[in-house]
Amino acid sequence: MKALVVLACLAMAGGVSAADYRILDRLAVGGEGSWDYLTVDRTGHRLFVSHGTHVAVIDLQTGKAVADIPNTPGVHGIALAPSLERGFISCGRANHVLIFHSKTLKPLGEVATGENPDAIVFDAASGRVFTFNGRSKDSTVIDASSGKVLATIPLGGKPEFAVVDGHGRLWVNIEDTHEIAELNTAKAVVTRRYPLTGCEEPSGLALDPKKLRLFSVCGNEVMVVSDIATGKVIAKLPIGEGSDGVAFDADRGLAFSSNGSGTLTVVAEAGAGYKVAATLPTERGARTITLDPESHKLFSPSAAFGPVPAATAQQPHPRPTALPGSFHVLVIGQ
């Protein structure tokens, strides 16, 4: 496997050099369709990958696609509740969540949500699943045990990715108002909002649970680091174009922005602040990302693309089409 070329300075975090990260493997999935979020199943050592109208399941021990969860039109995200042996898939075009058994992968039912459910998270502290509905600009709160809708939370803007701290608090990027909304998961209410100064259209979000900082990746090619206690932006760092995902490795103190233009930006602490530690080439289209905290490996889906179509009045900025059968997941590590 060809090592990635380091395009920026080196950084050491917990004895680990950001420059050591490289593409370790490409896990073939195949098929057709777009993709969005992906989720590591730490209990079953599997990777759940959204893929248009279905979810591909990859065995992380063999690197092989071993199963498929069908009938998930417009799938965006997958949330897992290991203690309940349940999984939850946001089906954006169907305006519902598909509930499945996380071991057998068999469907258990569907739950109606707001319009275009996108990001989805399970909060162990409250035992609830939260969907973030882009078109209706709200969050649907679902009891993970019964599958019943408990509440709908207006968010005052278009939500993107969300994270939880495991102690009853949740944070979500609000894309069109350029801010963070904080939720109390037990009360199902917004408790606070604060602006992401210098960030346009925040999408991916990651949490440093030790220092209580949030990492938002933004449409204007920056990563904004905000302090939860004060609600202040404490760093703004350059990243690549087209980022839709960010992951944080708590053990190593590194944040990773997956940039759809074909790079991975690695951010590390630098004194009281942060700096870009390395910029690594990946593949065009690899815009979302997830982390396995045990192996410290990162996973980012992509595909091979055909030529960019000619611009039209209806589509002045056309995107290239993914080639059939080329869908795969990059494995990035050391």
Q: Tell whether 209 and 296 lie within a shared domain.
A: yes
Same domain (yes/no): 175, 39: yes
For the cut 60, the answer to whether the pLDDT of residue 7 exceeds it is no
166 part of a folded domain: yes
Average pLDDT over residues 109-118: 98
Q: What share of the chain is helix, strand, coil (3-state, %, to 5)?
A: 0, 55, 45
Asked whether residue 314 is domain-assigned, the answer is no
- HEC sequence for 225-270: EEECCCCEEEEEEECCCCEEEEEEECCCCEEEEEECCCEEEEEEEE
| Cα–Cα separations (whole angstroms), residue 118 to 91, 92, 158, 326 | 8, 6, 10, 24
* Residue that finishes a domain, picked among 175, 195, 215: 195
Domain-located, residue 313: no
Computed over its alpha carbons, how large is the radius of gyration of the chain?
Answer: 19
Q: How many CB atoms lie within 10 A of CB 151?
A: 15
Residue 244's domain spans which residues? 1-30+202-304+326-334
Residues 165 and 48 in one domain: yes
Residue that has been written with the tokens 């071993």 in this structure:
66
Q: Are residues 21 and 59 in the same domain?
A: no
Task: Identify the band that residue 15 occupies on the pLDDT scale cut at 50, 70 and 90.
Answer: low
Question: Does the residue 315 lie in any domain?
Answer: no
- What is the distance between the alpha carbons of residues 241 and 173, in angstroms, rounded to a whole number? 18
65, 185: one domain? yes
pLDDT surpassing 70 at residue 130: yes
* CATH classification at residue 96: 2.130.10.10
Q: Are residues 282 and 143 in the same domain?
A: no
Q: Is residue 71 predicted with pLDDT exceeding 50?
A: yes
pLDDT surpassing 90 at residue 5: no
User: Tokens representing 249?
Assistant: 């490795």
Residue with tokens 């499945």: 100
Q: Indicate the length of the chain as a whole number.
A: 334
Residue finishing a domain among 149, 174, 195 = 195
End-of-domain residue from the set 195, 229, 260: 195
17-39 pLDDT, tens per residue?
888 999 999 999 999 889 999 99
Q: Is residue 320 one of the residues assigned to a domain? A: no
Note whether 93 and 186 are same-domain residues. yes
| Full-model pTM | 0.93
- The number of distinct structural domains making up the chain is 2
Domain contains 163: yes
* Same domain for 113 and 143: yes
